[in-house]
Structure 1
Amino acid sequence: MFNSQMQVCTTFVAYLDRTCTMATETEGATSHESHLEWAHKDNRRLLHVVYRVGDLDRTIKFYTESLGMTLLRKRDIPEEKYTNAFLGYGPEETHFVVELTYNYGVEKYNLGTGFGHFGIAVEDVYKTVELIKDKGGKVTREPGPVKGGSSVIAFVADPDDYLFELIQRKATPEPLCQVMLRVGDLDRSIHYYKNAFGMKLLRKIDRPEYKYTLAMLGYAPEEETTVLELTYNYGVTEYDKGNAYAQIAIGTDDVYKTAEAVRFFAGKITREPGPLPGIKTKITASLDPDGWKTVFVDNADFLKELE
């Protein structure tokens, strides 16, 4: 009798274990699907990229006169001892822009080895480079086809040594077209940005002769919008991020749901979702597996802020 009762108990416990495991797996699958669905149906767009410069007026002059950008707005925050300037090729409501930050009294930053470059699409790389030279700009790679390809490019450096790749293309709705960052595990990064950020893998190129692989990810084709270019250099798993490049901002319809999805797919939330003091714009901040920072901004609040 005793052995029979023990067998019944053991069988019942095993049943409970299987039931709990199945329930947990079902719950996990449901969470995965719900977070994945949200990341892909959310109304997301790359808004701006933030980085630090040592002389704001000097940089604005270079961007407007040499790169053809427009100064969209400028704001000074004396209580926090910094000034921002927003520049781009169209209004912030519809275009990706750069947000320059000048911290009072800081003239030099370390760019590190992780940040790569920004990309600008131009209709004639040769003419653009000549203009930049005439304005005293620094050309680090003369115009010409890429190695092993036909695309015409050039590289120029701004006054703080941030690199800009000039890419020859037909007229595009978004000339400020790329942000390139280096990562230590490309497949891991692709998985993260597809799942947590809802981006599409647009293309992947392996160049074994130069020992690197790159992936283009974004929310629309490269010819139509700004994309993230992630580069993996063979055998390099970590980079020095310096203190110059800061973050990318992405619009979202719900910072709370987005934070949940980012956390679920192994992103690190560094600022819990909620309104900013003073301007009330809701944001959340996160780090990807390589430590690159992204800030998600509430779409409706962002438009109100621009007003």
Structure 2
Amino acid sequence: MGIVWSRRRSDAMVQGRALHFVLRVGDREVAMKFYREVLGMKVLRHEEFQEGCKATCNGPYDGKWSKTMVGYGAEENHFVVELTYNYGVAGYRLGNDFLGITIQSKEIVEKVKKAEWPLIETPDGIVIEAPGGYKFYVEDKEQPLKDPVQKVSLAVSDLQRALNYWTKLLGMKIYHRDDTNMVVQLCFEDDQCKVELKDIGVAIDHASGFGRVAFSYPKKQLSVIESKMKKQKHKVLMALVVLDTPGKVPVQVVILADPDGHEICLVGDTNFRLLSVIDLNADKLVDEAITADTSTQWFVQNRQHKPLA
């Protein structure tokens, strides 16, 4: 039986905020059609980069890439999706690490059906697969006032070990726990997107399509959390650094990995709020980038196949 928990965090300083999850796309044009026309998300920001990200936002790749943020509203009060596209990669192999994103909205259910995208209907809603194989669950319920994105689900190999990490070190609180099905939902505040951890009983394989979840904290908390991780001998993939963003404010970033290797990006909240403001030209920018993209043609002309990661 599921049990709802609503206890307070022991660390009163924690003021975390769930931001986004990173998904990798191999065909940007098809992906954008799906997120805009099928799920009805808006393009919030789009950026092009000539070389790999210092924080490995685009994965372990050094070449040209782009980042497109999509969602149902500003990242200041919505959980959104970051789509990373590497120009030299045609697709990615998925592991068993990412279980899906759940959206709650009767209106979006109807939109998905009208789009005639392949789907599976269930008593609770529909299951739909995005380009690249990532799953979305759309529940046929009234849409919440704040954000229809309700949870991002990740697989873990040892639920109690994962729970210790996400609650004691990251400061998340238990929102719902189901010991029968070995699943826990965590959050910072009840009206934010939840992180659902499900014990699948086997080792977690991230393959080449692995993603990354991002949270913001007050910047003074970042060094505190980093110190806790080092003390407990957990992985710090990138030590706390201030990253410059051309034309925008610099942002404080630290990259972690939980015991199952799920990548976690923590950013300073104040500057990230400024960095993540909606760009009204974002739709135009991504469409222009898709039109100008000749990477696939280059491989064809050189009698090569665009490689899979």
Do both share a fold (TM > 0.5)?
yes
Alignment root-mean-square deviation, CA: 1.9
Identity of aligned residues (%): 29
Contact map agreement 2:48 2:67 (CA 8 A) in 1:
yes
1:185-224 → structure 2 map (5 Å cutoff): 185-207=158-180, 212-221=181-190, 224=191
Deviation, structure 1 residue 79: 3.5
Give distance in 2, aligned partners of 1:136 and 1:45.
35
Distance 1:102-1:169 versus aligned 2 partners, 3 A rule: same
The residue type equivalent to 1:302 in the other structure is F
Contact map agreement 1:266 1:289 (CA 8 A) in 2:
no
Are residues 1:121 and 2:113 paired? no
Give distance in 1, aligned partners of 2:232 and 2:218.
19
Aligned residue number for residue 15 of structure 1:
none
From 270, 274, 296, the equivalent of 1:304 is 274
Give distance in 2, aligned partners of 1:64 and 1:231.
29
Are residues 1:252 and 2:217 paired? yes
The structure whose RCO (Cα within 8 Å, separation 6+) is larger is 2
SS of the aligned residue for 1:245 comes to coil
Are residues 1:174 and 2:147 paired? yes
Give distance in 1, aligned partners of 2:194 and 2:229.
19
Aligned residue number for residue 137 of structure 1:
117
Deviation, structure 1 residue 109: 0.5
The residue type equivalent to 1:240 in the other structure is D
Give distance in 2, aligned partners of 1:240 and 1:106.
20
Unaligned runs of 5+ in 1: 1-35, 145-151
Aligned residue number for residue 95 of structure 1:
78
Aligned residue number for residue 68 of structure 2:
85
Give distance in 2, aligned partners of 1:202 and 1:42.
16
SS of the aligned residue for 2:259 comes to coil
Bigger fraction of residues in helix: 1
Deviation, structure 1 residue 266: 4.5
SS of the aligned residue for 2:275 comes to helix
Q: Which protein has the larger Cα radius of gyration, Structure 1 or Structure 2?
A: 1
Give distance in 1, aligned partners of 2:202 and 2:31.
32
Structure 1 residues 239-277: Cα deviation after superposition (integer angstroms, max 9, x where no partner): 211121320111011221221133344531111101114
Distance 1:131-1:98 versus aligned 2 partners, 3 A rule: same
Give distance in 1, aligned partners of 2:141 and 2:260.
31
SS of the aligned residue for 1:286 comes to strand
Q: Could you tell me the TM-score, scaled by structure 2's length? A: 0.76
Structure 1 residues 37-77: Cα deviation after superposition (integer angstroms, max 9, x where no partner): 65x42221011111200122221221111112111111111
Distance 1:287-1:95 versus aligned 2 partners, 3 A rule: same
Are residues 1:237 and 2:196 paired? no
Q: Could you tell me the TM-score, scaled by structure 1's length? A: 0.77
Runs of 4+ aligned structure 1 residues displaced above 6 Å come to none
Unaligned runs of 5+ in 2: 1-8, 53-63, 278-309
